[in-house]
């Protein structure tokens, strides 16, 4: 089931995938996953907030927004050496990618030298680097690329149609422009969205259409479950049906066969069974550690225990270079062309 890479998905096609019987959808997603990845390997990242709170944006889901009164403490940009200490600890715990997030609308010129030193320092530790700093100009994207930044995260959040219900201080076009600046600079793109914000299934389909129809699929697609925080406008929203979340993972896998699909925010509230279904649906990346920026994440030991129970293995940094990924895809495709074999597990 080696899926053709497409960039012309129609909304009705994606809605039809969402509407498949649950078992049929997961079966299709698992076939696509196995044709493109080691089915039992998971890429592991750690996320650190390098500057917290006082963000001028009014994203209704975000406890870091200066527009809302939450329990998040405001913190200035961390010192470079402190960031590197955290990166060393993350590597020791098994992370292969270190992601750094700052609550900015966009980085100021005065901040760029410190951010660049962080990227260089983390690279020297042998970790992949990722940052999310808000909107980027072409010049800032080039500077981060030259420093060695591997990935830049900039989520679309939701569909273009529902976007106005989420934020008013930044346009959808602004987000797409930043993604283009990142691509033009030669960095890899990490872009996904958040579900459970009161959007419809059609909105979830439309979000995935936006991502899948980009000229090049994001290498990493984080799918976040809304974490409801007191003080934000979305604190009292109804929970999304967990099976709908799994469907979103599965459809993302089918639409973007060679992207890492990441379980991101919201895992703290997911039981092991739900996470296992997400891995079956094609998720193959997680954030690792006890916090995601300002919200809780499952403890490291819990993740390791779940991996052991499911027979999953963390990918090392060298295991998913472009050359190795191509080899894995070739091997997986060849395996799919062989007769089905059943293995006895002791």
Looking at the annotation, which residues are catalytic?
55, 59, 62, 99, 130, 190, 262
CA distances from 83 to 87, 141, 180, 265 (A): 6, 21, 28, 21
β-partners of residue 200 are none
Counting Cβ atoms within 10 Å, is residue 155 exposed (0-12), middle (13-18) or buried (19+)?
Answer: buried
- 106 vs 185: CA distance, rounded Å: 17
Kindly state the tokens that stand for 299: 């403890």
Residue 41 corresponds to which tokens in the numbers above? 């390997």
Please tell me whether residue 231 adopts helix, strand or coil conformation.
coil
Measured distance CA(52)–CA(61) in Å, rounded: 15
Give burial (CB, 10 Å; 0-12/13-18/19+) of 242. Answer: middle
Distance CA 228, CA 267 (A): 13
Q: What is the DSSP string of 58-127?
A: --TT-TTBTTS--SPPPBPPPPHHHHHHHHHHHHHTT-SEEEEEE--SS--TTTHHHHHHHHHHHHHTT-
Helix axes 300-310, 272-280, angle to 10 degrees: 60
Quote the CA–CA distance of 245 and 256 in Å, as a whole number. Answer: 17
Q: Do 98 and 84 form a contact (C-beta atoms < 8 A)?
A: no
Q: What values do phi and psi take at 45, rounded to 5?
A: -125, 155
In degrees and rounded to multiples of 5, residue 257 shows phi and psi of: -60, -30
Question: Under DSSP, is residue 53 helix (H, G, I), strand (E, B) or coil?
Answer: coil
């Amino acid at each position: 089931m080696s899926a053709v890479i497409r960039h012309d998905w129609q909304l009705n096609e994606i809605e039809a995938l969402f509407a498949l019987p649950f078992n049929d959808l997961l079966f299709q997603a698992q076939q696509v996953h196995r044709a493109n990845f080691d089915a039992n390997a998971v890429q592991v990242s750690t996320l650190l907030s390098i500057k917290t709170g006082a963000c001028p944006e009014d994203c209704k889901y975000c406890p870091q927004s200066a527009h809302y009164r939450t329990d998040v403490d405001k913190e200035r940009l961390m010192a470079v050496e402190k960031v590197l200490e955290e990166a060393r600890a993350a590597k020791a715990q098994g992370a292969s990618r270190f992601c750094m997030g700052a609550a900015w609308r966009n980085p100021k010129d005065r901040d760029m030298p410190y951010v660049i030193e962080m990227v260089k320092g983390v690279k020297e530790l042998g970790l992949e680097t990722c940052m999310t700093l808000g909107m980027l100009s072409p010049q800032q994207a080039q500077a981060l690329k030259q420093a060695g930044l591997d990935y830049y995260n900039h989520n679309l959040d939701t569909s273009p149609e529902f976007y106005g219900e989420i934020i008013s201080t930044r346009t959808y076009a602004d987000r797409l422009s930043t993604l283009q600046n990142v691509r033009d600079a030669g960095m890899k793109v990490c872009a996904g969205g958040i579900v459970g914000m009161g959007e419809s299934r059609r909105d979830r389909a439309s979000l995935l259409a936006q991502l899948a129809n980009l000229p090049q699929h994001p290498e990493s697609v984080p799918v976040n479950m809304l974490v409801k925080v007191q003080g934000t406008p979305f604190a009292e929203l109804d929970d999304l049906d967990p099976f709908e979340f799994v469907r979103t993972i599965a459809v993302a896998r089918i639409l973007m066969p060679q992207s890492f699909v990441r379980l991101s925010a919201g895992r703290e509230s997911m039981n092991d069974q739900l996470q296992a279904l997400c891995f079956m649906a094609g998720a193959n990346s997680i954030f690792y550690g006890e916090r995601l920026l300002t919200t809780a994440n499952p403890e490291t030991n819990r993740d390791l225990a779940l991996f052991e129970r499911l027979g999953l293995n963390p990918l090392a940094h060298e295991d998913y270079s472009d050359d190795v990924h191509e080899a894995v895809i070739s091997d997986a495709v060849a395996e799919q062309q062989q007769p089905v074999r059943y293995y006895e597990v002791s």
